[in-house]
Amino acid sequence: MHNIDKYVVGVDLGGTKIAAALFDSSGKMLKRERTETAGAATAREVVMRITGMVQSVAEGRTLSGVGLASPGAVNSRDGIVLHGTNLPEWTNIPLKKWMEAELGAPVQVVNDANAAAWGEYARGAGRGSANMVYVTFSTGIGAGIVLDGELLLGTNSFAGELGHNIIDPGGPVCSCGRNGCWETFASGTAIRNATLVLMQERPSLIAELAAARGEEVSSRTVFEAREQGDAVALEVIERAIHYMALGLANAVHTFNPDRIVIGGGVSKAAGQLFPMLREETEKLVMKPYQGSYEIVPAGLHDDVGLIGAAAMFRFQPASTAANSH
């Protein structure tokens, strides 16, 4: 039924850039392009740029599907971007409908964290797992859940917002307006903020390291200072690991995954992160869950959105159980 002449395009829509890539049925990337979104006045114009790029990478081939990863709130069932990106007029955009009319191919729209989760599951560090939790620690915390081989969407396709689970009602104010969400304790931003506070109170190598690089203090400089035994860095990282593990332990109890895949800038900055994170998570989960999951770094890096979006139209032979969506 699925022969080799099937092509899929993945699109990664960002606030400032659009990337599109053509994949063959085995999941191999054949061609890619990138463009800026700057200068587009309306949502329609952005969509015309997207469809233009899809046609450009497809080079006249018939497409069996186009998957698009979008930031913000996405209704995946109807293919509508509800809100939440810095593109012009980007509210309640019927992206699937507009793109299908233009391209004559089926389109699936998915939130970028879910696309990344699906990409890791289908083609990256989640391969071979059945129940996977994907978490990305960067400016905020993004997450996506795969259960029994299916991406978990929920009623409004909003499932998996682990970063906004409240872990301390008395905690710092979050970007969502509430207090004490997981990402106010365990994101790159949280690590940076905690560092800046401690640096006011105590001497630290961190300022020197950042200055030598000509950079602001970031989770990367903090991890570097930790390797050199800096007391502030040691304290900040120990606390960050505890909070990261706390959220992961909650996810283990909620989803009972066999694998947790960790992506994002914080995990890239920290080679020594994983042993500590595993140990701390094991301390925080209940006994029956201990040893039931592994925690591994993401495998796909910058292309994860493109690959995950394209993989919404399952690559063959991705798995013997896969059937077309």
Of 120, 72, 161, which Cα lies nearest the Cα of 295?
A: 120
If the CB atoms of residues 176 and 196 are measured against Zn ion, the closer one turns out to be 176
Q: CB of residue 175 vs Zn ion: minimum separation in angstroms? A: 6
Find the part of the chain contacting Zn ion (CB under 5 A) among 14-22, 160-168, 212-220, 246-254. Answer: 160-168
**Concatenated DSSP letters for 91-105?**
SSB-HHHHHHHHHSS
Q: CB of residue 158 vs Zn ion: minimum separation in angstroms? A: 13
Residue 309 engages Zn ion in binding (rule: CB under 5 A): no
Q: CB of residue 101 vs Zn ion: minimum separation in angstroms? A: 36
Q: CB of residue 169 vs Zn ion: minimum separation in angstroms? A: 12
If the CB atoms of residues 23 and 182 are measured against Zn ion, the closer one turns out to be 182
Contact 96, 108 (CB under 8 A): yes
Residue 176 engages Zn ion in binding (rule: CB under 5 A): yes
Contact 318, 284 (CB under 8 A): no
Nearest-angstrom CA–CA distance, 193 and 292? 34
Q: Quick one: the chain helix, strand, coil %, rounded to 5?
A: 40, 20, 40
CA end-to-end span of the chain: 14
Q: CB of residue 220 vs Zn ion: minimum separation in angstroms? A: 24
Nearest-angstrom CA–CA distance, 25 and 101? 24
If the CB atoms of residues 177 and 229 are measured against Zn ion, the closer one turns out to be 177
Helix (H, G, I), strand (E, B) or coil at 233: helix
Helix (H, G, I), strand (E, B) or coil at 281: helix
Q: CB of residue 269 vs Zn ion: minimum separation in angstroms? A: 23
Residue 232 engages Zn ion in binding (rule: CB under 5 A): no
Residue 269 engages Zn ion in binding (rule: CB under 5 A): no
Residue 174 engages Zn ion in binding (rule: CB under 5 A): yes
Find the part of the chain contacting Zn ion (CB under 5 A) among 4-12, 107-115, 177-185, 291-299. Answer: 177-185
Contact 174, 153 (CB under 8 A): no
Find the part of the chain contacting Zn ion (CB under 5 A) among 4-12, 37-45, 97-105, 170-178. Answer: 170-178
CA 178 to chain centre: 22
* Of 2, 61, 164, 242, the one binding Zn ion by CB under 5 A: 164
Residue 166 engages Zn ion in binding (rule: CB under 5 A): no
Footprint (CB under 5 A) of Zn ion, residues 181-220: 181
If the CB atoms of residues 11 and 181 are measured against Zn ion, the closer one turns out to be 181
Footprint (CB under 5 A) of Zn ion, residues 19-48: none
Residue 179 engages Zn ion in binding (rule: CB under 5 A): no
Contact 12, 1 (CB under 8 A): no
Which of the 8 DSSP states describes residue 41? -
If the CB atoms of residues 49 and 192 are measured against Zn ion, the closer one turns out to be 192
Of 295, 291, 257, which Cα lies nearest the Cα of 277?
A: 295
How many residues in the shown chain lie near Zn ion by CB under 5 A? 4
Which region holds residue 4: left if phi is over 0, alpha if psi is between -120 and 50, else beta?
alpha
Residue 276 engages Zn ion in binding (rule: CB under 5 A): no
Which residues contact Zn ion (rule: CB under 5 A)? 164, 174, 176, 181
